[in-house]
Amino acid sequence: PILHGLIFDLDGTLTLPPPPWFFPSLRAASGAPPGVDILHYISTLPPSAQSAANAHLEAIERRAMSSMQPQPGLPSLLAWCEVNNIRTGVVTRNFDEPVSHLVTTHLTSRDPETGRERRHEFMPVLTRGFREVKPSPGPLLECMRVWGTGCGNVLMVGDSKDDVEAARRAGVGCVVVRNEGNGEVAEMEGVVGVVERLEEL
């Protein structure tokens, strides 16, 4: 099969894993009990409580943006994608600002000859504002719909169980970016490769 597109997760995939306080802070701010999906829990709250919980999550995500670092190998992988006409999309359970921050802060450069600003454009970018979130396959299927391609020509690149499960349910292979805390993810059904650095793709 010919590769037409790569669908990326954000935290721990396009970026280095977030700080240790990040995910516990999200759970505490949401009020979700242990073992219950945070976004699903928020969706069950009354509208006013949903708005308050989402505002708390966004404040935590903005705080984490200050220490955001791109995953090693990201610029070279994206340059390869551009040269080879490989589409790139983002599917994340974050809101949209962290994706924009990554692009403007770490994936923007100035052409030395023309002086024009160049930045990588992910399309589409599907955040938790989309009608479905991982581990639902819906966002991945939407990427394929936008690109006009099938599951055999796309790969998901992620680091979590939700990434692998969403890819499996969408019929898409998943490449796992290994880190210190996700060894069991690499063993899941549907994983077609494991990398330490993104340019290994």
Tokens of 163: 């990434």
pLDDT at 1: 80
Which pTM value belongs to this model?
0.94
- Judged against a pLDDT cut of 90, whether residue 110 lies above it is answered with no
Beta strand pairing call for 108-110 and 117-119:
antiparallel
Same-domain status, 153 and 175:
yes
Domain limits at 28? 22-65
Q: How big is the chain, counted in residues? A: 201
Tokens of 176: 């796992």
pLDDT at 38: 97
Residue type for 4, please?
H
Same-domain status, 86 and 10:
yes
The residue that leads in pLDDT, 49 or 118, is: 49
- Judged against a pLDDT cut of 90, whether residue 112 lies above it is answered with no
Q: Count CB-CB contacts under 10 A for residue 140.
A: 26
> What is the per-residue pLDDT across 116-141, written as a single tens digit (0 to 9) for each?
888 999 999 999 999 999 999 999 99
List the CATH number of the domain containing 40: 1.10.260
List the CATH number of the domain containing 119: 3.40.50.1000
Same-domain status, 50 and 125:
no
In the chain, what percentage of residues exceed pLDDT 70?
Answer: 100
Same-domain status, 110 and 154:
yes
Beta strand pairing call for 117-119 and 87-91:
unpaired
Average pLDDT over residues 88-101: 97
Q: Tokens 């052409």 appear where?
A: 111
- For the chain, what is the radius of gyration of the CA atoms? 17
